[in-house]
Amino acid sequence: MRCMYIMLLCSKSSCHLSKFVSAHVRGLVVDTTNPRHNHFEKIERNIELFYPTPYATVPGNNLKEYSRVTPNRCAQMCLEEDTFICRSFDYQIKDGTCKLSDKTGSDMGGLYTGNGFSSGTHHFEMKPMLDCGGNLTGLE
């Protein structure tokens, strides 16, 4: 098992490992009566380039679909897509379905949240970045 999440219970001197991150299990339960619980999640390289929106989708605008992949692998496939400009993806937790899209929530007038919670689908949009390479010249 690849560990993606650790919960450290200081009061019991115990540690719980999981292959899931909090988004896979509908978020973290926060116990404010016991501040001695610490949660740690592994954030992988590709997924860091996307803004997550739990339980939301951009329905009907998926150009490619993959099954049985991790969220990080889905992010990698979006970044490496060469037949269209992938700008976002919807990820369904239960079966690891990845749906790539050339649209964002703002392109579609907002994200759809009607079935996101029940379907366990999260939306990820690529963070804005600009790296054209080389040097900018000729501005005088």
Report whether pLDDT(85) > 50: yes
Tens of pLDDT, residues 97-132: 999 999 999 899 888 887 655 578 889 999 887 555
For residue 76, what pLDDT is reported? Answer: 93
User: Which comes out higher in pLDDT, residue 33 or 4?
Assistant: 33
H-assigned helices in 20-100:
71-80
Tens of pLDDT, residues 34-74: 555 565 665 667 888 888 888 889 888 899 999 998 888 99
- Per CATH, domain 47-126 is 3.40.250.10: no
Interval 83-93 mean pLDDT: 93
pTM: 0.66
For residue 113, what pLDDT is reported? Answer: 84
* Nearest alpha carbon to residue 36 among 59, 11, 69: 11
User: What's the rounded Cα separation, in Å, for the pair 11 and 9?
Assistant: 6
Tens of pLDDT, residues 7-27: 555 555 666 655 555 555 445
Provide the pLDDT confidence category of residue 1 given band limits of 50, 70 and 90.
very low
In the chain, which residues fall in CATH 3.50.4.10? 47-126
* Phi then psi dihedrals of residue 112, to 5 deg: -95, 125
Sign, CA torsion 98/66/73/103: negative
For residue 140, what pLDDT is reported? Answer: 58
For residue 128, what pLDDT is reported? Answer: 84
* Nearest alpha carbon to residue 42 among 73, 2, 89: 2
